[in-house]
Amino acid sequence: MSTMNKKPIKPKLGLWKAAPTEVLTRANAVYAGIKENSTDFPAPTIDLATFKGEIESLASKITAALDGGKKSIAERNHQAQVVIRMLRHLGHYVEAACKDDMTIFLKSGFVTVSALKTTNQPLSQFIRKITHGDNTGQVRVTIAAVTGAFSYELRWAAMGAGGAPGGWTTQPVSKTRPPALVTGLTPGMTYAFQVRSLADSGYSDWSDSVTRICM
């Protein structure tokens, strides 16, 4: 069983190598999150009207760069860096303002880096690792290879109030590498994940559940 140590909540700020469209998506989410939750985030370190203007400028420059011109691409990339710097300031502000309350943090539109530090031990016999994806509502599930298996199935379900999983969603997985990407999850919701393998003899039983909070 994995050993886990609680870590402070920290926003994921490593966007320097992200595509400009990804920066735009994150910036729009953060702008909306902070603006709509002013009670939780009453004094952002970046003026929101200014931030919104820079976001709109980035959107415009992304569209202009579709012509493939060197000048328009350079202007787009420069504007993406402007927005990233503003996101970093706001990320540090949100980190302090949320006071390690995940419910408040998730309102901000930021994605958190893992709030739990785990050892490299497998999570279960069939699931090696579950990590957060690049975007909100995504996770990556690393499946352990089973001798003789030629494909796998991954399924997940939101955990109900009584601790029982709800309706399952199933996704076929043809191979164990790269990790299977699961999308469309609800941030802040706890999900159970299970895996089964398919061999000449048929499907195996579903594995024991591994639960994770989606960020």
Q: What local confidence, expressed as pLDDT, does residue 47 receive?
A: 96
Tell how far CA 58 is from the center of its chain: 22
Instruction: List the structure tokens of 183.
Output: 């999308």
Is the pLDDT at 211 greater than 60, yes or no?
yes
| pLDDT, tens digit (0-9, with 9 covering 90-100), for 87-112 | 999 999 999 999 989 899 989 999 88
Q: How far apart are CA 139 and CA 189, in angstroms?
A: 12
Q: What local confidence, expressed as pLDDT, does residue 4 receive?
A: 43
> Are 129 and 171 a contacting pair, CB within 8 Å?
no
Report the range out of 10-19, 85-94, 104-113, 163-172 with the highest average pLDDT.
85-94
What average pLDDT score do residues 56-68 get? 88
Element (H, E) at 106: helix 102-107
Greater confidence (205 vs 189) lies with 205
Instruction: List the structure tokens of 58.
Output: 């980035």
What's this model's pTM, rounded to 2 decimal places? Answer: 0.53
Q: How far apart are CA 171 and CA 177, in angstroms?
A: 15
Is the pLDDT at 5 greater than 80, yes or no?
no
Instruction: List the structure tokens of 199.
Output: 């061999």
DSSP letter at 113?
A: P
Instruction: Give the DSSP letter string of 6-70.
Output: E----B----TTS-HHHHHHHHHHHHHHHHHTTTTSSS-SS-HHHHHHHHHHHHHHHHHGGG--H
Query: In the chain, pLDDT over 90 holds for what percent of residues?
Result: 50
The set of long-range contacts for 74-80, using a CB threshold of 8 Å and a minimum separation of 24, is: 76/20, 77/20, 79/20, 79/54, 80/20, 80/23, 80/24
| pLDDT, tens digit (0-9, with 9 covering 90-100), for 43-61 | 999 999 999 999 999 999 9
Q: Which of 12-21, 71-80, 175-184 has the lowest mean pLDDT?
A: 12-21
CATH number for 122-213 (one of 2.60.40.10, 3.30.300.20, 3.20.20.30, 3.90.550.10): it is 2.60.40.10
> Which amino acid does the sequence have at 50?
T
Q: What local confidence, expressed as pLDDT, does residue 170 receive?
A: 96
Instruction: List the structure tokens of 7.
Output: 């870590």
Q: What local confidence, expressed as pLDDT, does residue 206 receive?
A: 92
Q: How confident is the model at residue 114 (pLDDT cuts 50, 70, 90)?
A: low
What average pLDDT score do residues 30-47 get? 95
Q: How far apart are CA 143 and CA 198, in angstroms?
A: 13
Tell me the domain boundaries of the chain. Answer: 9-107, 122-213
Q: How confident is the model at residue 22 (pLDDT cuts 50, 70, 90)?
A: confident
Q: What local confidence, expressed as pLDDT, does residue 112 receive?
A: 82
> Are 37 and 107 a contacting pair, CB within 8 Å?
yes
Q: Give the Å distances, CA to CA, from 139 to 93, 105, 129, 186.
A: 25, 18, 10, 11
Q: How confident is the model at residue 7 (pLDDT cuts 50, 70, 90)?
A: low
Instruction: List the structure tokens of 148.
Output: 């003789």
> Which amino acid does the sequence have at 63?
T
